[in-house]
Each structure stands twice: as structure tokens, then as C-alpha cells.
Amino acid sequence: MSILETIRTALRALMSNKMRSVLTMLGVVIGVSAVVAMLALGEGTKADIETNIRSLGADVLTVRNGPAQRGAVRAQSVDSLKLEDAEALTAVDNVIAVAPASNGSAQIKRLAGNIGAQVIGVTPAYFQVQKLNIEQGNAITDAQVRGRLHSCVLGANIYNTLFPLGDAIGDHVKIKGLSFQVVGVLESKGSGFSSADDNVLVPITTHMSTLFGRQFVSSITVQVASEDLIDAAKTDVEAFLRMRHRLKPGDDSDFNISSTKDVLEAVGQITGVMTAFLAALAAISLVVGGIGIMNIMLVSVRERTREIGVRMAVGARRRDILLQFLIEAVTVSVLGGLIGLAIGAGGAYGMSKAVGTGFSLPVYAIVLSMVVSLATGVCFGVWPARSASKLDPVEALRYE
């Protein structure tokens, strides 16, 4: 019998018992839809986080204190980056902006208002490199940095808390008991990966001397002329700083450099593992679905024993009977897989719309769900089909 004819025979058997076929399919439908939903939500979330990180700029390198990370073990941090390093870095090829920053936290007070904030010492380049926009007033200027002035730019949340009535420019706030004049307010970035809304920016010189008494900066952000040059620039910056820090070849660097790409890779790895884990959990229900198919197929073989006998009597080979039942099982599972794919994708889309997380249906999820449902049908259909094909025609014809 031709394959096409066998498929027709199998479909016919399924159609003659619609309710049972649908219920059998349900296990695979649930399994596949769960797997697809997990993959779609996982990939969507990953894409979301990546967009967030990318918004920080794919064209920047961040230099931090401490030795380069080696595997998962991180040696004790050493402070090594000086403000002069940052100034000198502007000379490196392809570097278009260098923004040193010094981090600290402090209570910010005004009248009865009091809020904890990240106080960051910055230069004008910081605004460009971090892509911060000014809502009111101005950014920190070179003159303020040079003069170690007590000026500050407030993040949107700080501004809203301390100046509920607005009108902050020219007014003063107290940081660590010292009075600072508000020269600007940042545009709100909204909630995100690391929001500038809760920061207070002051001239880096003031930060390092008057406020926190530091010799070293916390980080230096380097903006590169284009995203493509990021790897080359990373090598150049490293070589330049090693030279400035008088490190011998073979010495570990006393700083480390990371690019947005590095962070993206790390995040991709973490979300990938999470997604795979959730999908694997969902796949367990596929196994249950497969067992359901096997169960029904075994019953079906028993019920149709006489039919199998008749088919054998008129010339069906064992192979024909095997294929007939195997194709029935595969049809149930693949059809279930298709329905599951639709439900899973639709469900994940609905959920992402409702909760506001990302949604992305990768091609590999579609292919995977189809392959897995096909494999489920074959794996769990082969035993019942074999038992059907092994029937003795005499016994089968006699079966009541």
C-alpha cells in the first residue's frame, strides 16, 4: 500500500473517533504549548534586557578598578585609576569622549525633605557618554569641575521628592551637610536597568576632594567613534593604561575593561539557561502526552484486532499494518503539536501584552516543537504499532 493511501487510512480511523482523537491530542497540545510559551517569553525577556543594555550604548567601554576577572574568581580589588588617566585617555585612537566617574552615596536634604541618593562625581563628557538629557538648567561644566564648585544636577526622582513645587534651579540642597547649588535637572529615564533618576551629579573634583576625599576614580567610561571599532579600542585602551601604570609584560592588569557586548553575552548566557530550564520542565508534560497516545493506541489496536485480521487476509503485509498505526500516532502528535504551537504562541503573546514583558517567537522554537511532537508520535506509537503488526492473522480473524 502506498504511503499516501496509508496516511488516508490513518486519518480516516482518527476521524471516525473524533472525541477520542481530540482527547488523545490534548496531552501533546498542552506539552507543546507550554514549551513554546516558555521559549517565547524567555526569548522576549532576553530581547528586552538586551535593548535596555544597548540603550546604554554599544559604543562604550567601561574601565574599572581592580584586576581583570579570571573565570568566576575575582581577586581582591585594587584602586588604580586616577583622574589623570582619564584625561590622558583622550589621546588614544578612535576615542571620542572619556568620562571618569566617582561613586558614593549620601543623604540629600532640603528643608524637611531627605532622600538617599547615589552621588556621582562627573565631568561634562559624562552626560554625552551616558546619553543623559537635561530637562531644566544646564549640565555640569568644565569651569565647575576646574573650580571644584558646589554645583549639582538632580535626577528626576530626587528633584520630584525634594522640590515638590518645582523651581529648583538656583536653589540649594545639602549633601553631607554641605550646601550645593542646583544647576540642572535630568530628564526622567523611567524605570530601567540602572536608572539615572535616583542620582545626583556633582563636579568630579568636588566629589573626590571635598565630599568623599578620594585619590582614585570609580570608573572611566570611554566612548569610541563607532561600534565596529570597540574591540580594537579595547586593546588600545588596555595597552595605554598598562603603560601608564608601568606594568611589566606578564603582570596582571590592575583594572578591567568591559564593553556592552561583554555584558550582553553574560546576560544572554543567564537568560538562555533560565529559558532552557523552564522549557525542560514544560517538556515533561510532553512525555505525559506521549504516554497518553501510547495508551490509546494500545486500546485501539485491541479494538481493531479483527480489522487487522481482515486486512492481513486480503494481503496487508506486517509492514503495512505497522505503518498504518504508526502514522495514526504521528498524525495525532503532529496535529497536537501544531495546535499547541498556535496556543503557546498566542498565550505567550497575550501574556506579554498583559504583563508588559517582551515577546519573540524564534524560528528554532517552531522547528523544535514540530520535531519534538513528531518524535513523540514515533516513540510512543511504535510499540502499539509493532504489537499490531505482530498479530497472528488466524488469531486476529477469530478475535471477538
Least distance to other proteins, CB of residue 338, Å: 25
Shortest distance in whole angstroms from residue 309 CB to other proteins: 8
- Contacts of 225 by beta carbon, 8 Å cutoff, 6+ apart: 59, 94, 95, 96
What are the φ and ψ backbone dihedral angles of 386, each rounded to 5 degrees? -65, -40
* Residue closer to other proteins (CB basis): 149 or 296: 296
Q: Which is nearer to other proteins, 139 or 391 (CB)?
A: 391
- Which residue do the cell numbers 561634562 mark? 124
Burial state string for 147-175 with b = 16 or more CB within 10 A and e = fewer than 16 = ebbbbbbbbbbbbbbbbeeeebeeeebbb
- Indicate the residue among 231 and 392 with the shorter CB distance to other proteins: 392
Smallest gap from residue 13 Cβ to other proteins (A):
8
On whether the CB atoms of residues 112 and 166 are closer than 8 A, the answer is no
CB of 32 to other proteins, least distance (A): 29
CA-based nearest residue to 267, from 71, 40, 49, 57: 49
Phi-psi category of residue 223: left, alpha or beta, with phi > 0 → left and psi -120 to 50 → alpha: beta
Report whether 113 contacts 95 (CB < 8 A): no
Binding site for other proteins (CB under 8 A): 1-2, 5, 12-13, 16, 306-307, 309-320, 392-394, 397
For residue 378, the minimal CB distance to other proteins (Å) is 23
- Give the cell for residue 383: 510499540
**Complex with other proteins: residue 251 or 303, whichever CB lies closer:** 303
Q: Which is nearer to other proteins, 189 or 311 (CB)?
A: 311
CB of 397 to other proteins, least distance (A): 7
Q: How far is CA 158 from CA 71, 90, 154, 199, in A?
A: 38, 32, 6, 7
The nearer residue to other proteins, 171 or 303, going by C-beta atoms, is 303
